[in-house]
Amino acid sequence: MNLSTLGVGIAAGLGLGSAYGLIAASFNLIVASTGFFIFALESVVSLGGILTYVFAVDWNLPMIPTAILVCICGLAVGALLDFVAHRPFEGRTTNVSLYVLLATVGLSIAIDAGLSLLFGDTPRLVPGYVSASPLVIDGVAVNPSYLVMIGAVITITAVSEIVFRRTDTGRNLRATQLDSEGVSLLGLNVGRITTGVFAVSGGLAALAGFLLTPVTSAAPTTGAALVIPAFAALAIGGFGSFRGAIGGSLAVGLVVGVVPLYLSSSYVNLILLAAIGITLLIRPQGLFGSTSAREL
């Protein structure tokens, strides 16, 4: 094992880390503002990839309009998730977030099955939104689309941090997560805030699906394969922390990039699962997080 192989592994890991970061960011947005974990967002990622194929290949649209259309569809699906898998539970069960999780797990499984019935299981190649020829940096080939993803992750994280810490909207969102009843007593429309957050998360997930197409192609299984690393990134980084999610994503990306160089790639998910379990057991608030995952 020479050094440049390791370099390839690290480069791939950082690239994958940025992909996980994109998905972790869409999960995180909802966690940070409502406390829900919307499992079905992984299906929105797959959907984003498939829509990219439909718009770019079937309809022959250029890349920028494709990206915009995919995001709009993601926004709509996100808002729909709020109406289907969240609102029906408000006020009807004592543990809304658990029911939201279970309902979105069920939905996610159904959407994935539906997509593979409609689209087929074979991944379909989508023309890249950047040149397909790899950039060579210091002897290591780097897929240029990873650079776009890294840029996107950093932008999304920076914007989320600013929105959550500096603006009224962000303060309302954080307050909603802590005490949605109190916020609604202050006269804010919690329902509308929540729908908005679901929609934006859906849009981000679909955008992630679009950005991932050069790496994963369009397939109904794309999201399902990414949900474990993304969740691991959140657990390590601390649920609800945007900066933590980036750190977690890069750490997970490095594991996924480097481990297959030394061990069978089947170890990757097991290692991640163990990492999630151990992190949650020892530091439920995540390695980088400071606020604890609330138990009560």
Which parts of this chain interact with another protein (CB under 8 A)?
A: 37, 39, 84-85, 88-89, 92-95, 97-99, 101-103, 105-114, 116-117, 224, 227-228, 231, 235, 239, 264, 266-270, 273, 276-278, 280-281, 284, 293-296
Q: Which is nearer to another protein, 141 or 273 (CB)?
A: 273
Least distance (Å) between residue 102 CB and another protein: 6
Q: Which is nearer to another protein, 102 or 135 (CB)?
A: 102
Least distance (Å) between residue 91 CB and another protein: 9
143, two tokens: 């897929």
Least distance (Å) between residue 178 CB and another protein: 15
Q: Which is nearer to another protein, 98 or 125 (CB)?
A: 98
93, two tokens: 């069960």
Least distance (Å) between residue 275 CB and another protein: 11
Least distance (Å) between residue 276 CB and another protein: 6
Instruction: Give 170's contacts (C-beta < 8 A, 6+ positions apart).
Output: 162, 163, 164
Q: Say what angle helices 222-237 and 242-262 make with each other, to 10 degrees.
A: 120
Q: Is 286 exposed, middle or buried (0-12, 13-18, 19+ CB in 10 A)?
A: buried
Q: Which is nearer to another protein, 95 or 131 (CB)?
A: 95
- DSSP output for 78-95: HHHHHHHHTGGGTTT-S-
Q: Which is nearer to another protein, 69 or 233 (CB)?
A: 233
- Three-class SS of residue 175? helix
> With the C-alpha atoms ordered 145, 142, 251, 273, is the resulting torsion angle positive or negative?
positive
Say how far apart CA 184 and CA 167 lie, in whole Å.
18
C-beta atoms surrounding 6 within 10 Å: 15
